Chains A and B, each alone.
Chain A
Amino acid sequence: MTTIVQDRYAEVKDRFQQLFVQQEERLNGLKDQPLHDIRRKAMDRLKEQAFPTRRDEEWKYTSVNRVLQPNYQEGNKASLTAEDIAPYLIDGLDVHLLVFVNGIFEPGLSSNGNTAAGLTIIDLNQALQEDKFKEAAQLQLDKLILESDDPFRSLNGAFIRNGLFFHVSANMVIEKPVFCLNLATPGNEAALINHTKLVTAERNSELTIIEAYYELPGSEGTYFDNVAAYFQVDENAHVHHYRIQQEGKNAFFISNIDIEQDSDSTYSSYVVDLGARLVRNNMNALHLNKGITTNYYAAYFGKGEQHIDNHTFIDHAVPHCQSNELYKGILTDKARGVFNGKVLVRRDAQKTNAFQQNSSLVLSDKAVMDSKPQLEIYADDVRCSHGATIGQLDEPSVFYLRSRGLSDAAARVMLQQAFIAEAVEEMKHEEMIAYAEDLIIKKFEE
């Protein structure tokens, strides 16, 4: 007799299958396009995969049960005006703006005309059909989605909607950042909002991508941002990647970011997580050649029952590369934080310089932080350091500030802000530091 192991999430996967059928109906005439072939393959993979449970070491502290319970529908179109989006723009920074509402591109709200010379931004569907890009797009989608065992990546692939393909030609420095503004206006039905990006920066090029995620005021619905992005950073190219996340109280946010870097390139990630009920970020960088720098800077601030989980991975596969990771956060009320930072230094990766620090302020009895640095070092001539601290505010400092006339609350806010500012101030653009700090201050005032 055989025992049939019940798939805990079989019903959930059935629902996604039904949603997939609905998507096909909506797509109708577009089903023969190459992108739909990707979607179909991803859906097939999803059927074979199991969603993680807390028995999986990588998901020990984060249960996806809550994320998978709602009966998701695709995001709906919503008509917004320039006035609606104005509060989310970045003061003083000239950007190429791309606006997405519930995952759907809004050309009317976005920058008109061409991007800078040397920069191409096109829909994934188009990229898969253009001779110049189709090979790269296919390869990156394979790596990001179709060769992965992660069901959330498959889910992303199955519902790619307005996915983007970015390409910077060799030797082109793109001064003006691309700002992808994602707004959610959830209604009564839970929405599955998909974000898929493929980015190629050819040799000697430079690009800044800013992603921001907000829920519009007045709507407090359930939605699930499923983010997947792939960065190919060629020789001596430099990519700055910002992600500012302030989703709503009932939002779920799961991201998978893969970075593949060639020699002397830099990839810098600047993340600020302030919103959403549950956040899980997976960052994976692979070093292909010498002289690479990877920077992960992140600030997080959890209140109420927020759950913020950062899993990072840097694969030092070759010699003479460096990585810097600084994750700083504040947890209060019943919020929970997780940090798992894996650094793998392979046997050949001599002269690796890897730094990792995770520090959290845990400000209430019921707030929890689990921090796990995970260094695996197989080379002998390397400099690797890591640290994890979990603590409270320094009371003598509070007293000192109060003795100068600041109220107890103002003193505490000043110290908490200073604590996470360290990670924010690593940002390359001063306008972004101001933008992020402003959001953080507003969160204190909530």
Chain B
Amino acid sequence: MLSVKDLQVQIEDKSILKGINLEIKPGEVHAIMGPNGSGKSTLANVLAGREEYEVTGGSVEYLGEDLLEMEVDERALAGIFMAFQYPVEIPGVSTSNFLKSIVNASRKSKGLEELNALQMLKLIREKIKMVDMDEKFLKRSLNEGFSGGEKKRSEMLQMALLEPQLAVLDETDSGLDIDALRIVAEAVNKLRTQDRSFIVVTHYQRLLNYIVPDFVHVLYNGRIVKSGDKSLALELEEKGYDWIKQEADAVSAL
């Protein structure tokens, strides 16, 4: 589904990613972990299509297409969903209108008919229940004045409505309370299917108590220095990142 090969990225002449390799198959959940400054959020942002990042080498293929050549909206329509850690607040755009627009934009790109008001309401009601969100938020401006947990629910609701092929969850920083983690985890677990893949970017292991990953990758200094199964995450939780850093630094000193 997603094939990242020797991906190198820099911002303002500073090299951040120095050759990332990653293979994601349908239905797999990959966790990307690593200490602060390792390049985790850069990886998420490059997949999302942020333009401030300059790709200097390597390739990213998504469903056989060159992802790096795709515009942000093309990526979304092709089935990639990016759950942001800090979604922007957009005053004046009502949540319900926004949801209608994105659902219909997605349907249109798939050659499906747009939903009418009644069908849309039914669909939104069904999904809003799934993420346990209050319907009153539909009338409010998108994310405006939402608490951290409410913003997470709003992101997960969008994910549930768009039914992506690949979801990238950026939970890089700390500061998320346990409720917010649970909201994300429950939504992900409900949406896990045989063909849908997830990349969960996280600093702490605790999110992975709720979302059990198939693979765990540790990023350090712009490279994946260790990959394993869920037990690697537990090991990191127990021992921290220092042993990984030492191992990696020893290798690069050779």
- Shortest CB-to-CB span from A357 to chain B, Å, is 13
- Residue pair B102, A400 in contact (C-beta under 8 Å): no
Residue contacts A-B, CB under 8 angstroms, 8 given: A402-B76, A403-B73, A403-B75, A403-B84, A406-B102, A406-B105, A415-B93, A422-B92
Is there a chain B Cβ closer than 8 Å to A408's Cβ?
yes
- Residue pair A397, B88 in contact (C-beta under 8 Å): yes
In chain B, positions 43-98 with a C-beta closer than 8 Å to chain A are 48-50, 71-73, 75-77, 82, 84, 87-88, 90-93, 98
* Residues of B with C-beta under 8 A to A132: none
Query: Chain A, 403-424, contact with B by CB distance < 8 Å: what is the 0/1 string?
Result: 1111110110011011101100
In chain A, positions 134-191 with a C-beta closer than 8 Å to chain B are none
- Shortest CB-to-CB span from A272 to chain B, Å, is 16
In chain A, positions 364-406 with a C-beta closer than 8 Å to chain B are 394, 396-397, 399-406
- Residue pair B76, A400 in contact (C-beta under 8 Å): no
- For the A-B complex with A397-B88, A401-B98, A406-B102 known, give 14 more contacts whose Cβ atoms are closer than 8 Å: A396-B88, A400-B84, A400-B88, A403-B73, A403-B75, A404-B76, A404-B158, A405-B77, A407-B73, A407-B105, A417-B92, A418-B93, A418-B141, A422-B92
- Residue pair B93, A405 in contact (C-beta under 8 Å): no
Q: Which of A394, A404, A405 has the most CB of B within 10 A?
A: A405
Minimal Cβ-Cβ distance residue in B for A399: B72
- Residue pair B92, A403 in contact (C-beta under 8 Å): no
Known: A399-B50, A399-B72, A414-B101. A405 touches B162 (CB 8 A): yes
Minimal Cβ-Cβ distance residue in B for A411: B73
Is there a chain A Cβ closer than 8 Å to B205's Cβ?
no
In-complex Cβ contact of A406 among B50, B73, B75, B92 (8 A): B73
In-complex Cβ contact of A408 among B73, B75, B102 (8 A): B73
Q: What are the nearest 5 A-B pairs in CB distance?
A: A418-B92, A405-B76, A402-B72, A404-B102, A402-B73
- Residue pair B88, A403 in contact (C-beta under 8 Å): no
CA distance A400 to B73 in the complex (A): 10
Chain B interface residues (CB < 8 Å from chain A): 48-50, 71-73, 75-77, 82, 84, 87-88, 90-93, 98, 101-102, 105-106, 109, 141, 158, 162
- Residue pair B90, A405 in contact (C-beta under 8 Å): no
CA distance A422 to B94 in the complex (A): 11
* Residues of A with C-beta under 8 A to B162: 404-405
- Residue pair A405, B73 in contact (C-beta under 8 Å): yes
* Residues of A with C-beta under 8 A to B84: 400, 403
- Residue pair A410, B49 in contact (C-beta under 8 Å): no
CA distance A402 to B88 in the complex (A): 12
Minimal Cβ-Cβ distance residue in B for A418: B92
- Residue pair B49, A403 in contact (C-beta under 8 Å): yes
User: Total number of A-B contacts with CB less than 8 angstroms?
Assistant: 65
- Shortest CB-to-CB span from B250 to chain A, Å, is 39
* Residues of B with C-beta under 8 A to A417: 92
In-complex Cβ contact of A418 among B49, B90, B106 (8 A): B90
Chain A residue total in the interface (Cβ 8 A): 22
Known: A405-B106, A410-B105. A421 touches B92 (CB 8 A): yes
- Shortest CB-to-CB span from B169 to chain A, Å, is 13
- Residue pair A403, B72 in contact (C-beta under 8 Å): yes
- Shortest CB-to-CB span from B168 to chain A, Å, is 10
Minimal Cβ-Cβ distance residue in B for A404: B102
* Residues of A with C-beta under 8 A to B102: 404-406
- Shortest CB-to-CB span from A254 to chain B, Å, is 31
Known: A399-B72, A400-B84, A400-B87. A405 touches B105 (CB 8 A): yes
- Residue pair A403, B101 in contact (C-beta under 8 Å): no
CA distance A399 to B53 in the complex (A): 14
CA distance A6 to B1 in the complex (A): 80
* Residues of B with C-beta under 8 A to A403: 48-49, 72-73, 75-76, 82, 84
* Residues of B with C-beta under 8 A to A402: 71-73, 76
- Residue pair A419, B92 in contact (C-beta under 8 Å): yes
* Residues of A with C-beta under 8 A to B71: 402, 408
- Shortest CB-to-CB span from B159 to chain A, Å, is 10
- Shortest CB-to-CB span from B157 to chain A, Å, is 11
- Shortest CB-to-CB span from A81 to chain B, Å, is 33
- Shortest CB-to-CB span from B210 to chain A, Å, is 24
CA distance A419 to B91 in the complex (A): 8
Q: Which of B72, B93, B101, B158 has the most CB of A within 10 A?
A: B72
- Shortest CB-to-CB span from A298 to chain B, Å, is 16
CA distance A339 to B141 in the complex (A): 27
* Residues of B with C-beta under 8 A to A394: 88
Minimal Cβ-Cβ distance residue in A for B107: A405
* Residues of B with C-beta under 8 A to A411: 73
CA distance A404 to B101 in the complex (A): 9
* Residues of B with C-beta under 8 A to A401: 90, 98
CA distance A47 to B82 in the complex (A): 68
* Residues of B with C-beta under 8 A to A415: 90, 92-93
* Residues of B with C-beta under 8 A to A418: 90-93, 141
* Residues of B with C-beta under 8 A to A421: 92
- Residue pair B109, A400 in contact (C-beta under 8 Å): no
Query: Chain A, 10-37, contact with B by CB distance < 8 Å: what is the 0/1 string?
Result: 0000000000000000000000000000
- Shortest CB-to-CB span from B126 to chain A, Å, is 19
CA distance A404 to B162 in the complex (A): 8
* Residues of A with C-beta under 8 A to B90: 397, 400-401, 415, 418
